[in-house]
Amino acid sequence: MLRRHPWVLPASFLLLPLLVYFAFVILPTLNSLYYSFTDWVGYGDDFNFVGLANFEKIFTDRLFGNAIKNTAIWLALAMTAPTGFGLVLALALQGKRRINTIYKSLFYLPICLSPIIIGIIWVWLYSPKLGIVNIFLRAIGQDHLATAWLANPNTALYAVFVAWAWQQTGLNMVIFLAGLTSVPTPLVEAAKVDGANYWQTLRQVVIPMLRPATVVVFALTAINALKSFEVIWVMTMGGPFNKSDTLAVFMYSESFRKFKMGYGSSAAVVLFLMTMVIIALYFRQTSKAEELYD
Amino acid sequence: MLNKRLLTALLFILVSAFLVAPAMADDLMGDFTVSHYFGGFGGEYIEEIVDEFIAANAGLSHAESPVDHEQFKTSILVQLAGGNPPDTFSYWAGARIQFVVDGGRLQPIDDVWEANDMGSQFPQAVIDNAVTYDMHRYALPLTLHWVGMFYNTALFEEVGAMVPTTWDELVDAAEKFKMAGIPAFALGSMNRWPGQFWFDMILLRTAGNDYRNDLMSGKASYADEEVVRAFGMWKELVDAGYFYPDANAYDWDEAANQVANGEAAMTLMGTWIGGHYAGLGLEPGADFDYFSFPTIDEDVPRASLGPIDTFVVSADAANADAAKAFIVHLTDPDIQAKFALGAGNLAPSLRVDTGIYNDVVARIAAEIAADPVFAFNYDLATPPPVAEVGLNSFSEFMANPGDYAAMLERVQADAAAEFAGMEG
């Protein structure tokens, strides 16, 4: 049997994980897609098929537009700040000095914390009167900059982003550190021998060699940015008055606060499609990078 | 002879015990699940009440799950949707219960209501508004809250402010506090709902309860002059600088603390603030007191405002018998009194002796009895999807009061869309 059908054995090993994947990923995704064509409120058995009505409505919904705008801002910031800081930290902390290990652990620490904990920590840091952010600003004579960061409609989204980026930066640093270990030392030495200074070596040798790691960082950051929810929910619940709503928060609010599960599911489908585009781009870039280095 | 009698008596007791014990156990058996949103204030009392109920019904084992007040609003509906709800749970009377009744997720308690003559135990207004939905009894009222202005008595004395009974007197008092460098009003609208009390009270005192009911049910518009006037009056107070800054940065208990600490003079809040202040060791009537939201238009009938906490039975309750027995258990006047005292609220049951209340709560009970109307606060008076729109607008107003006319046009458009969506 196994000789005639060699695929049976590996397939049997794959069966259980595939079943789990189907039950916990594929099925809920299909379920969301199904409900996005209905007016289901989230409980009860009564609902109607409304065709594409939810999708027609969502693209004229002021709050959806607001969530798209905030998600775009979030994504743009995510692709620059935690990515850039992650690279800078990795470059600064590469090497095996003892102090580097301590710093690496410190910057990696936020990854070990739950987003809920991260949110709670930063809510305290941003507290208008007792938070360390405003205390620091007042201590250096910048009282005019002290504000209610999470209640101010102009700062809420960015204040929450900083908390999220604090965690994401550590992850990016680790990926870049792993990437740096694969940069051949002779190549860097050769550049130095040829008279390249630090910046020239970095720009001409190290960063191009980091391309596979960079693709992973960009892809992971983009996916994490699109699905970021917990930190926002803990810190502002999308407020004040939707000013820090992202697509994920919009989806949750419509589904579970307004009890429009069908409509919320249509937002989930849009978010899913956006994430799929990012994943497709990621795989395309990954395969290009693999071709380059094969 | 004596031995024979003693033996007979013992035999009788043994046989009785043998016959009765299984019968009691058969009455209520199995797992019994209770979920509620009572945290610090009332949580421990609910635990005691549930424990007493379990102790009296040896066949039951129970799991009690308190959930954070804000998260409960979502989590209970997720449980109901998933078909694995608790047997009984606390819920806010009004539009929220109606919403779940409409979804077929609660079962009526008409049978135990009639069998235990509960109709005679609660005021008719409470039965009509909080208990009855679609002509059936669904909810057992456990606590009644009232929204009023709670103030720091020492600060009032310090600046020589009188307890206001009219809008002008309220503004005068606020001005006195402003002159003394103290914000008159603390508002912690981080979780949005505390802001609703300002809108509710001004609208009730200017447009009256009938108009408000029309607004809550979608028959009136947020762009109406009544609503615009209410926001306009609220704006006068905000523009004058009477509010503690950054209302949206604080939760209700932080605002309550601002009043307790003397950082602000008063806060518009529910009677549960009494439970919070009791936790801080404040003496009602001495350290803090209350006044009813002042009259604005003399010809508008007075109305009390607040939520009523109830317990309801899930349609899919695995142990509906135990849930209904628990509902009956909650009508015990001692239990109603214990919970009300613990949480600083009022017991809805007419069988509770009003002599149990402290001076502040006793006077509030008299206010409620004197007012011809008891209205539910905004997020319990209008359906949840519309309440979401309105609650956001109150936060937006506190941040940008200048744009309220344009904001109300937007709120009306969004509310109309939500009402239309519910009609399907």
pLDDT attached to residue B2:
43
Kindly state the average pLDDT of the residues B347-358.
90
Is the pLDDT confidence value at A283 over 70? yes
Kindly state the average pLDDT of the residues B140-158.
96
CATH number of residue B207's parent domain: 3.40.190.10
pLDDT attached to residue B311:
96
In a domain, B71, yes or no: yes
Residue of B nearest to A43 (CA): B81
A151 contacts in B (CB within 8 Å)?
190, 246-249, 399
Kindly state the average pLDDT of the residues B331-353.
88
Instruction: Point out which residues pair with B72 in neighbouring strands.
Output: none
Which of A23, A34, A234, A213 has the alpha carbon at shortest distance from A115?
A: A234
pLDDT attached to residue B17:
43
Distance from CA of A195 to the nearest CA of B (A): 56
Question: Given the structure tokens 């009136």, which residue do they identify?
Answer: B220
- The percentage of chain B sitting over the pLDDT mark of 70, rounded to a whole number, equals 93
pLDDT attached to residue B424:
62
**B404 and B347 within one domain:** no
Distance from CA of B74 to the nearest CA of A (A): 6
A257 contacts in B (CB within 8 Å)?
73-74, 384, 388
Q: Do A43 and B192 touch (CB under 8 A)?
A: no
Is the pLDDT confidence value at B63 over 60? yes
pLDDT attached to residue A289:
65
Is the pLDDT confidence value at B339 over 90? no
pLDDT attached to residue A11:
86
**B250 and B204 within one domain:** yes
Give me the total of CB pairs closer than 8 Å, taking one residue from chain A and one from chain B.
Answer: 78
Distance from CA of A242 to the nearest CA of B (A): 8
Give the whole-angstrom CA distance, residue A114 versus residue A230. 9
In a domain, A10, yes or no: no
In a domain, A24, yes or no: no
**B312 and B285 within one domain:** no
On whether any CB of chain B is under 8 Å from the CB of A272, the answer is no
pLDDT attached to residue B268:
98
On whether any CB of chain B is under 8 Å from the CB of A258, the answer is yes
* A229-280 pLDDT, tens digit each: 999 999 999 989 999 999 999 999 999 888 899 999 999 999 999 888 888 8
State the residue range of the domain holding B386.
147-305+377-423
| 3-state SS record for chain A | CCCCCCCHHHHHHHHHHHHHHHHHHHHHHHHHHHHCCECCCCCCCCCCECCCHHHHHHCCCHHHHHHHHHHHHHHHHHHHHHHHHHHHHHHHHCCCCHHHHHHHHHHHHHHHCCHHHHHHHHHHHCCCCCCHHHHHHHHCCCHHHCCCCCCCCCCHHHHHHHHHHHHHHHHHHHHHHHHHHCCCHHHHHHHHHCCCCHHHHHHHHHHHHCHHHHHHHHHHHHHHHHHCCHHHHHHCCCCCCCCCCCHHHHHHHHHHHCCCHHHHHHHHHHHHHHHHHHHHHHHHHHHHHHHHHC
B395 contacts in A (CB within 8 Å)?
239-241
Closest in B249, B393, B424 to A48, CB measured: B424
* Burial grade of A290 (CB within 10 A; 0-12, 13-18, 19 or more): exposed
Residue B376 DSSP code? -
Kindly state the average pLDDT of the residues B104-133.
92
On whether any CB of chain B is under 8 Å from the CB of A230, the answer is no
pLDDT attached to residue B168:
97
Kindly state the average pLDDT of the residues B398-410.
94
Q: Do B190 and A257 touch (CB under 8 A)?
A: no
Question: Given the structure tokens 């904990």, which residue do they identify?
Answer: A117
In a domain, A11, yes or no: no
A127 contacts in B (CB within 8 Å)?
249
**B167 and B298 within one domain:** yes
Kindly state the average pLDDT of the residues B26-54.
82
| The total number of structural domains that make up chain A | 1
pLDDT attached to residue B112:
95
* Burial grade of A137 (CB within 10 A; 0-12, 13-18, 19 or more): middle
**B111 and B38 within one domain:** yes
**B277 and B261 within one domain:** yes
Which of B8, B37, B60 has the alpha carbon at shortest distance from B322?
A: B60
pLDDT attached to residue B15:
45
In a domain, A189, yes or no: yes
Kindly state the average pLDDT of the residues B226-242.
97
Is the pLDDT confidence value at A290 over 70? no
Characterize B181-209 residue by residue with b for buried, 16 or more Cβ atoms within 10 angstroms of its Cβ, and e for exposed. Answer: ebbbbbbbbbbbbbbbbbbbbbbbbbbbb
Q: Do B396 and A241 touch (CB under 8 A)?
A: yes
State the residue range of the domain holding A229.
39-293
**B222 and B127 within one domain:** no
Is the pLDDT confidence value at A151 over 60? yes
B404 contacts in A (CB within 8 Å)?
none
Is the pLDDT confidence value at B371 over 80? yes
**B347 and B335 within one domain:** yes
**B176 and B247 within one domain:** yes
Which of B358, B374, B370, B255 has the alpha carbon at shortest distance from B308?
A: B374
Instruction: Point out which residues pair with B148 in neighbouring strands.
Output: B269
Q: How many CB atoms neighbour CB A186 within 10 A?
A: 8
Is the pLDDT confidence value at B25 over 60? no
Is the pLDDT confidence value at B14 over 60? no
| The total number of structural domains that make up chain B | 2
Q: Do B418 and A258 touch (CB under 8 A)?
A: yes
B250 contacts in A (CB within 8 Å)?
128
Mutation pick from B74, B257, B418 vs chain A, by most beta carbons of A within 10 Å, is: B74
**B262 and B391 within one domain:** yes
Q: Do B400 and A153 touch (CB under 8 A)?
A: yes
Residue of B nearest to A41 (CA): B103
In a domain, A19, yes or no: no
Give the whole-angstrom CA distance, residue B398 versus residue B248. 7
Q: Which of residues 390-419 of B touch A (CB under 8 A)?
A: 392-393, 395-396, 399-400, 410, 414, 418
Is the pLDDT confidence value at B62 over 80? no
Kindly state the average pLDDT of the residues B48-76.
82
A260 contacts in B (CB within 8 Å)?
385, 421
CATH number of residue A113's parent domain: 1.10.3720.10
Confidence category of residue B282, pLDDT binned at 50, 70, 90: very high
In a domain, A26, yes or no: no
pLDDT attached to residue B21:
41
pLDDT attached to residue B152:
98
**B267 and B390 within one domain:** yes
In a domain, A264, yes or no: yes
Is the pLDDT confidence value at B5 over 70? no
Kindly state the average pLDDT of the residues B211-215.
96
Can you give the pTM of this predicted structure? 0.85
On whether any CB of chain B is under 8 Å from the CB of A43, the answer is yes
Closest in B78, B395, B418 to A239, CB measured: B395
- Whole-number CA gyration radius for chain A: 23
On whether any CB of chain A is under 8 Å from the CB of B363, the answer is no
pLDDT attached to residue B8:
54
* B95 compared with B83, residue with greater pLDDT: B95
Q: Do A256 and B74 touch (CB under 8 A)?
A: yes
Is the pLDDT confidence value at A104 over 90? no
